[in-house]
Every structure is written in C-alpha cells, then in structure tokens.
Amino acid sequence: MKPLPPTLRQKKRYVLFRIVPHEAGLDGKQMYYAVYDAISSLYGDFGAAELSMAVVLCEGNYTIVRCRRGSEKMLVTAALTMNRINGTFCALRPVATSGTIAALRRRMPDSRPPLPERQAVFSGMEYTVRQRSQEKVDLYGDGIKNQEILYFTQDDMEDI
C-alpha cells in the first residue's frame, strides 16, 4: 500500500507542557495514560479519537504532546483539568505550541547546572575554561591586551 502524499496527511501540532512540581519524576507511559484519561473524561472517546493525542517526549520537568492541528485548545483544556498523575499530585502547565518538536526543544531550559570554571594550560598559555553545554568548551586567555578566545569540542578536550 502506498503512503499518503503530504497534501493528504493530517497536520500535527506539538504542545510543550511544564510539569509542576518539578520532582514528580514521571515517564512517557504514565503521562500518556493520565492525559488520555483527562481527554476522554472531558470530551468522551470520540473526542479523544478526534485529537489523536500522543506523548512524544517526557524529559525532566517538561513533556511534549502531539495532537491534530486545530485541536490544541482541546488538549490544553483537558491537560489543565488533571490534578494527579499515577497517584502523584501534579499538574501540567502549557508553555508553547508549535508545528515542530525542534522549536519546542529550544524553549525548554537546560536542566543541567552550569559547570564550574577552571584553569587549563594549552600550548604554553594559561586559559580559563568555561563549559556552557556538554559539547562546547570556550577557553579565554588571561591578559589585558591580547586576549585570545579558543573554541573546542568535547573531543578536543581529551588532549588538554
């Protein structure tokens, strides 16, 4: 059977929710069942099927839920009626809606704490190491006039 051409496929929207309280520690399966129960209790089984909801990502304090375009408000309304997930008192607060997961991932703050600064010697010069994420490392040369900034990746850090 041939797949549907893009013009005939259903358009999808993704909604980013923040989980309150932060220490809930939920996984995607628990989140799916809780959101689906809220949708079916508010709109019935027909409304739940009309939304075609799916939990795409459940990471840290945030979750991304997919639905059909035009039904985002129904999804948000149903998610706001939830007060517990798997016996844990918690709530979902909508943050943003988008047509792509990548746009919502950019809206999620980095949950990892910043790494402390340290000193490193590279090619005989002393640098201050500032690691902003897991992949990027910046080296700032000490001095007033000829400051030098070097950019490294995690693979380059093995040599230092």
pLDDT band with cut points at 50, 70 and 90 for residue 149: low
> First and final CA of the chain: distance in angstroms?
55
The residues with which 98 forms a beta bridge, in sequence order, are 14
The pLDDT tens digits of the residues spanning 118-139 come to 777 767 777 676 665 555 555 5
Two tokens, residue 82: 């939830």
pLDDT band with cut points at 50, 70 and 90 for residue 117: confident
The pLDDT tens digits of the residues spanning 4-35 come to 898 888 899 999 999 887 766 788 898 999 99
Class of residue 48 by CB neighbours under 10 A (exposed 0-12, middle 13-18, buried 19+): buried
Of 126, 134, 80, which is closest to residue 110 (Cα–Cα)? 134
HSE of 75 in the Cβ direction (CA atoms, 13 Å)? 27
Entry pTM: 0.66
Residue 116 preceded by cis peptide, ω within 30: no
Judged against a pLDDT cut of 90, whether residue 78 lies above it is answered with: yes
Beta-carbon count within 10 A of 46 CB: 8
Check residue 38 and give its pLDDT.
Answer: 93
Judged against a pLDDT cut of 80, whether residue 159 lies above it is answered with: no
Residues listed for the chain: 160
Check residue 60 and give its pLDDT.
Answer: 81
Of 91, 87, 81, which is closest to residue 42 (Cα–Cα)? 81
Contact criterion met (CB below 8 Å) for 39 and 54? no
Check residue 110 and give its pLDDT.
Answer: 67
The pLDDT tens digits of the residues spanning 29-76 come to 989 999 999 999 999 999 999 999 999 998 888 999 999 999 999 999
- CA–CA separation, 63 vs 34, rounded Å? 12
